[in-house]
């Protein structure tokens, strides 16, 4: 009897446990079905479309200042960081040894010229005497050979003197271009050589500046097509006009011009380097600065914009978002994006339609297929605050 009574008690406990578990599951399911999420109804709005391409600024012209002769620097004749002009003397290398070489070569030339003055009348006389058979043919040939040798010596001495003059001029190191000069890598008293690889200083031409951007070959092809169709604003030469965004997000005062400088596709990355020429009269832009080139495409009267917090990327990099369908169930969509707008919205080109409801807050508390209570977002600025609300059930 006790065994039967215990068996009945055990069976009753099991049934009660199952009932409680089922009840708990039904309560959780019921709670899950009434989860509240914040949504925004997708609308089509006018949007000024543009293509933004990040890149680094580089100087229009970079010219290293290098010595052409070996010697000791006597003077530095410029202020570091100042603007120097083409032909301006920057360094003075000790000219003494080169002056001595020039003097010696000049003396050699004068000596050769004197020898020629002596050889010319002798050759003329021997020609006259040979004409009347007064001297032998060998004597005439010897006089003419001496004359030609003296003439050749003069040519060689003139070349040596010119070389000495050039080297003497190289002791005055001048600016090859006009621009802003860097700090000097050498001080007076330092020995420099004609074959050294280290520049004495570097001159940068800052106006205009280059902005080099790297784009995929697919994007470049699309850009070319849009330029050809007139979708982008261009100048008289057909080059796209470009707005420049600075590192702090502000817009640069001067527009640039896009040039297709790339001559081939990088086989490793599949990208092409494009070049933007940007006026820089105030020297505000500096080499190495991170900038954005923005090309206006015009107004899209039916653009779809969604808050960035509503979009996540999966492991494959696909943009996805949660949608509340007509039956108030959660559905996941894969979206096609075309950049950002106003720094807090995505521009959607595929995967959404006007009138659909996209989840902007509370997505972490629901799963695909759940039935939810959708509440319209009170406003873009309030969505972030609403997202912090607790996931309580109605």
With a pLDDT cut of 90, the percent of the chain lying above it is: 31
Quickly state the pLDDT bin for 258 (edges 50, 70, 90): confident
- Identify the top-confidence range among 13-22, 48-57, 141-150, 355-364: 355-364
Cα distance between residue 361 and residue 340, in whole Å: 19
Cα distance between residue 91 and residue 88, in whole Å: 9
Collapsed DSSP state (helix, strand, coil) of residue 260:
coil
Structural element, H or E, at residue 52? strand 44-65
Domains of the chain: 32-47+301-386 (2.40.420.20), 51-59+209-299 (2.40.30.170), 72-93+173-198 (2.40.50.100), 95-170 (1.10.287.470)
Quickly state the pLDDT bin for 295 (edges 50, 70, 90): confident
pLDDT of residue 4: 46
Cα distance between residue 252 and residue 246, in whole Å: 6
pLDDT in tens, 200-238: 999 998 888 998 887 777 777 777 776 666 666 666 666
pLDDT at 384 over 90: no
The stretch 230-253 carries a mean pLDDT of: 78
pLDDT of residue 298: 62
- Identify the top-confidence range among 112-116, 153-157, 272-276: 153-157
pLDDT in tens, 114-123: 888 888 888 7
Answer whether 373's CB lies under 8 Å from 394's CB.
yes
Among 21-30, 124-133, 148-157, 187-196, the range scoring the smallest mean pLDDT is 21-30
The stretch 10-23 carries a mean pLDDT of: 46
Quickly state the pLDDT bin for 189 (edges 50, 70, 90): very high
Among 121-125, 139-143, 258-262, 323-327, the range scoring the smallest mean pLDDT is 258-262
pLDDT of residue 345: 84
Query: What are the strands, taking DSSP E only, across 113-200?
Result: 172-174, 179-181, 191-192
Neighbours of 188 (CB within 10 A): 12
pLDDT of residue 339: 66
Task: Residue 89: name the closest of 80, 76, 70, 98 by CA.
Answer: 76
Report field, pTM of the whole predicted structure over 0.85: no
pLDDT of residue 392: 41
Among 54-58, 132-136, 152-156, 258-262, the range scoring the smallest mean pLDDT is 258-262
């Amino acid at each position: 009897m006790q065994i039967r009574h215990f068996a009945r008690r055990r069976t009753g406990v099991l049934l009660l446990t199952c009932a409680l578990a089922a009840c708990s599951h039904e309560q959780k399911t019921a709670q899950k079905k009434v989860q509240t999420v914040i949504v925004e109804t997708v609308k089509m709005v006018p949007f000024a479309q543009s293509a933004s391409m990040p890149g680094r600024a580089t100087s229009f012209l970079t010219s290293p200042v290098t010595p052409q002769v070996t010697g000791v620097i006597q003077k530095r004749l410029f202020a570091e960081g100042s603007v120097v002009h083409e032909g301006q003397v920057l360094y003075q290398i000790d000219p003494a040894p080169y002056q001595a070489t020039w003097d010696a070569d000049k003396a050699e030339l004068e000596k050769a010229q004197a020898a020629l003055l002596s050889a010319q009348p002798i050759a003329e006389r021997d020609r006259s005497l040979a004409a009347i058979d007064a001297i032998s043919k060998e004597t005439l040939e010897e006089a003419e050979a001496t004359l030609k040798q003296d003439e050749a010596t003069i040519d060689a001495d003139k070349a040596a003197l010119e070389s000495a003059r050039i080297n003497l001029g190289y002791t005055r190191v001048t600016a090859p271009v006009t621009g802003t000069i860097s700090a000097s890598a050498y001080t007076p008293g330092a020995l420099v050589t004609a074959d050294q690889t280290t520049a004495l200083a570097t001159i940068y031409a800052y106006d205009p500046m280059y902005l080099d951007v790297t784009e995929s070959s697919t994007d470049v092809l699309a850009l070319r097509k849009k330029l050809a169709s007139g979708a982008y604003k261009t100048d008289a030469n057909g080059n796209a006009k470009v707005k420049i965004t600075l590192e702090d997000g502000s817009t640069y005062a001067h527009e640039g011009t896009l040039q297709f400088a790339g001559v081939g596709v990088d086989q490793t990355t599949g990208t092409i380097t494009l070049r933007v020429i940007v006026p820089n009269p105030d020297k505000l832009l500096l080499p190495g600065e991170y900038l954005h080139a923005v090309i206006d495409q015009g107004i899209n009267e039916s653009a779809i914009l969604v808050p960035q917090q509503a979009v996540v990327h999966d492991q494959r990099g696909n943009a996805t978002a949660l949608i509340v369908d007509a039956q108030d169930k959660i559905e996941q969509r894969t979206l096609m994006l075309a950049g950002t707008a106003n720094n807090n919205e995505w521009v959607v080109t595929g995967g959404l339609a006007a009138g659909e409801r996209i989840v902007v807050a509370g997505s972490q508390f629901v799963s695909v297929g759940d039935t939810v209570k959708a509440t319209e977002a009170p406003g873009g600025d309030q969505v972030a605050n609403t997202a912090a609300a607790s996931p309580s059930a109605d």
